[in-house]
Structure 1
Amino acid sequence: MDLPPENPTKPDNPTTPNGSALTDKNGWDGKLRVGKKAEIVNAEVLSDPDYSDEDAPPVEQILADEDILDDYEKDTDEIDLVHSRISSIPALRLDRFPKIERLCLRQNQISRIEFPSNIGPSLQELDLYDNLISHIRGLDHLLHLTSLDLSFNKIKHVKNVNHLKELKDLYFVQNKIQKIENLEGLEKLRNLELAANRIREIENLDTLTGLEELWLGKNKITELKNVDSLANLKILSIQSNRLPVISGLDALVNLEELYISHNALTQISGLDNNRNLRVIDISSNQISQLTNLKHLQHLEEVWASSNQLSSFDEVEKELADKKELTTVYFEGNPLQTKSPALYRNKVRLALPQIKQIDATFVRVA
């Protein structure tokens, strides 16, 4: 005797005994059908894995079972919590430390900036390097900050910092910033770091007249411009960009260090007014002649590795009279690759004042 199966399969389309489809009076067979064409509401979520909605409610935070600040005195002026797996700033209960001046929360899992208002009058240095921050906010009460480090986060837009009038150092290294903006009013700023972002143009720096250091390496900049107002600038770092020529530096008469390696330079030019230069780095370009350095009498270091320099006569002509010159780098040029055995001796003969050639110190006889 055959037994029916234990789990009989229900037919997809039930029928009556005479084989016709089983439907109601309106012809509906009881199945819910969805159209094949679906509409994606937030398409940017698929194209950008780091997309975040600035107006979305905060993700629920699970508070830690232990108080990692339990050993700190209430009147402490410095808290250092590096790589401590912190995801919630409110969970730290920082309102217990009204005299804190320096707070370091490097290498944690913080995605939202939230500080109690009572630490505002004392906090001067805030380090949030290497976290998960996408949006700059929550700094309204920290009016006495002199140093703010938001490097190695996921920030796309510079904003909500221009009320921090006491800032001297501001760091945005390795984020996703495409535009220099919203820095008006930071007249006390001395050091601005925007390296390793997605910036294509130098702009909106007119009000930063006190700036002494500007770091823009590893971006997508194709032209040196809009820096005329930075008359106090001493250090300009713009290596690993897309510059075909050195230009736009005429107003930077106090410039002492210029780092412009890993670009698309074919010649040295545009330095006529930069007579206070002490260090110049033109390594890893396509420069074939060492020229236009004669007037830079205060040069101490010339970094020119991995170019197309081939003339020791040019080295002597441009650099022999520089009494303050101590270090030169020429490795990776035809100067060195064509006669590596004689290279160092030829450099020493051309530049007897040198103390270091490439990474090797020169022995004094």
Structure 2
Amino acid sequence: MFAPWDDPAAVPLISYRGVSKRFEDVVAVHDMSLDIYPREFFALLGPSGCGKTTLMRLLAGFETPSEGQILLDGADLAGVPPHRRPVNMMFQSYALFPHLSVKDNIAFGLRRDGLPARQVAERVDEMLTLVQLTAQARRKPHQLSGGQRQRVALARSLAKRPRVLLLDEPLAALDKRLRGETQFQLVNLQYELGITFLVVTHDQDEAFALADRIAIMRDGKIEQVAPPAQLYESPASRYVADFVGDVNLFDGTVRATGEETVVVTDTGLAFAAGPSSATVGGHGCIAVRPEKLLMHAPHEAPDLLHNRIAGTVEDIAYGGDFTLYRVKTAAGIVEASLFNRRRTTEAAFTWDDEVVLTFDTADTVFLDH
């Protein structure tokens, strides 16, 4: 399994060390340290203005750190101009030359670097084959689909064989179906080439589909760095739990610790998670994803001491493969996502039904911040 970040002997390719970036009175990145490893597909994920694009531009050389160091292969990049860094950037707009053919767009950077014509031609043919655009080599950008233009921009970025490819919202201009297809193409391409990819996105579905690891950013700082499944199932903070996917949060006072961490709400409802560092009398919340909940008719519900809550179905949203129920309870609105396993238009529950929601302690996490 590819997980160099778990290997104490692994040497990172990119290291941000205490990096800060200020624009006058605005702190875009604050004292940030991060390691990214060779062959890793790494994503910076967060809302607009969180500092993720600034972090990428600092690596590319388009911005200079106010403090700290950025190392690539152990060498400090300070003072190295963008065109001298073994890094290439694919912009969100693709920035293709409209008057040049696909072939000439890909060749542009190679010719500027003074490569011999034969070597340029070989490299361009290699890139066209790689992104499956050989038949479109003589077309102009306006004669291509959105997905094809995206692949031209990708081929141009890869043609110079950078150590690191930077992708700024690479799929934002594509429609939903094409975005899904292109995600698989990017992952396969990155694996085949063995190049480190760093992607910036605000789309969590995109980050989860592409990345080996994701850094969740907030206000110029990193909240958590982890593989997608770990971020989703074991968020390190309330912010991460709430930002990644949908979640139910039950706030209260810690009443018991040990094999279970029990939180009791103001209304007297008791919810439990596994062992934690919580202190009795402290405050925190139990987090559980909507798909972990089971919904029962009241007479069929198991009698549980914890993680059992009664309510009334208030809203229903049919999503094709699942149906989302919003249930009004003493703890507020609780969301339960039930998979539609059978081909039927008749739902098991409907509006105003009295129901009981239950969930397993193993499917919850305790968060104290």
- Fold equivalence (TM over 0.5): no
**TM-score of Structure 1 vs Structure 2, range by shorter chain:** under 0.3
* Structure having the larger proportion of residues in strand: 2
* Structure having the larger proportion of residues in helix: 2
Give me the TM-score of the superposition, normalised by structure 1.
0.25
Give me the TM-score of the superposition, normalised by structure 2.
0.25
Larger radius of gyration: 1
